[in-house]
């Protein structure tokens, strides 16, 4: 399979990979190995709309990519700041519709957790299989998006509870008080920004998303599915609905002003 992956959780990451075809299912299997055909990135959190078009054009025109058609698109679904997340998802859906190929979504924090566990496995494989990872990414407004994870095989992760958005100090206080499960290691851009989250723990994968890891997550989840209808994808966490954890700043008026 040839897969385009887009992450716009903070900056913009884009890559095209060649990967094993898992669409026939087959449950858990060997680790997924990706062959990266082309990649591009820009680190500004405010230039998604301007950068995605040229990045896509360059990636899809690369000789290694243009030689064969794409089979799927994978895009980050957040949680992340609204504008960047929307730009990445719109680009992914546009490519999918134009080429008649499926588009799968993967939560951004899941990808950071997988990247952190890969890094940990390079140090101690047994520890990586049992460790709990707290992922905290920058949510602006002096807050972080957070979730906890454990490994699920070599390519997937299991989320322990839901996504949250809160001040980093409050997150650490809840954990120290026993209201949240303690984490062995931390990861993500928010953990790198706020020292209280990493205090006494190893910091891994200080990013807000990972375009390669999200491909492996999508493939690992697809491999377990007997089919790929909309409801099945939603249950598997592969649908492309964006994860917005805050109410919008701008509200539609509900009545005539007096």
Q: What is the C-alpha separation between 180 and 200, in angstroms, rounded? A: 17
Residue 29 in tokens: 């299997």
Whether the predicted pLDDT of 107 surpasses 60? yes
Of 7, 15, 6, 13, the residue nearest 65 (C-alpha) = 15
What does the radius of gyration of the chain's CA atoms come to, in whole angstroms? 18
Q: Quick: pLDDT tens for 33-56.
A: 999 999 998 887 777 777 888 889
**Domains of the chain and CATH, by start:** 2-107+210-236 (3.30.420.40), 108-204 (3.30.420.40)
| Region 207-231 average pLDDT | 87
What pLDDT sits at residue 24?
57
Of 151, 108, 106, the residue nearest 132 (C-alpha) = 151
Q: What is the C-alpha separation between 95 and 172, in angstroms, rounded? A: 40
Whether the predicted pLDDT of 78 surpasses 80? yes
| Region 101-107 average pLDDT | 95
Of 79, 66, 71, the residue nearest 102 (C-alpha) = 71
| Region 208-233 average pLDDT | 86
Largest CA distance in the chain: 65
Whether the predicted pLDDT of 26 surpasses 60? no
Q: What is the C-alpha separation between 135 and 111, in angstroms, rounded? A: 10
Read off the pTM: 0.90
Q: Quick: pLDDT tens for 155-192.
A: 999 999 999 999 999 999 998 888 887 899 999 999 99
Q: What is the C-alpha separation between 187 and 181, in angstroms, rounded? A: 15
């Amino acid at each position: 399979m040839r897969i385009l992956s887009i992450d716009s959780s903070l900056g913009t990451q884009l890559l095209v990979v060649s990967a094993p075809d898992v669409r026939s299912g087959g449950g858990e299997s060997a680790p997924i190995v990706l062959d990266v055909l082309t990649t591009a990135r820009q680190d500004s959190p405010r230039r998604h709309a301007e950068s995605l078009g040229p990045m896509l054009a360059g990636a899809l025109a690369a000789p290694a990519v243009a030689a064969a058609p794409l089979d799927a698109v994978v895009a980050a679904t957040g949680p992340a700041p609204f504008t960047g997340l929307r730009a990445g998802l719109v680009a992914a859906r546009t490519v999918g519709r134009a080429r008649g190929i499926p588009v799968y979504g993967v939560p951004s924090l899941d990808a950071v957790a997988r990247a952190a566990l890969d890094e940990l496995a390079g140090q101690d494989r047994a520890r990586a299989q049992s460790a709990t990872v707290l992922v905290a990414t920058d949510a602006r407004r002096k807050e972080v998006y957070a979730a906890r994870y454990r490994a699920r095989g070599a390519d997937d992760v299991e989320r322990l509870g839901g996504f949250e958005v809160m001040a980093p100090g409050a997150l650490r206080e809840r954990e120290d008080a026993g209201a949240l499960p303690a984490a062995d290691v931390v990861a993500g851009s928010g953990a790198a920004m706020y020292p209280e989250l990493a205090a006494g723990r190893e910091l891994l994968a200080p990013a807000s998303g990972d375009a390669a890891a999200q491909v492996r997550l999508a493939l690992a989840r697809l491999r377990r599915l007997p089919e790929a209808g909309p409801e099945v994808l939603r249950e598997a966490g592969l649908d492309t609905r964006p994860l917005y954890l805050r109410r919008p700043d701008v509200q539609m008026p509900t009545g005539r002003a007096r």
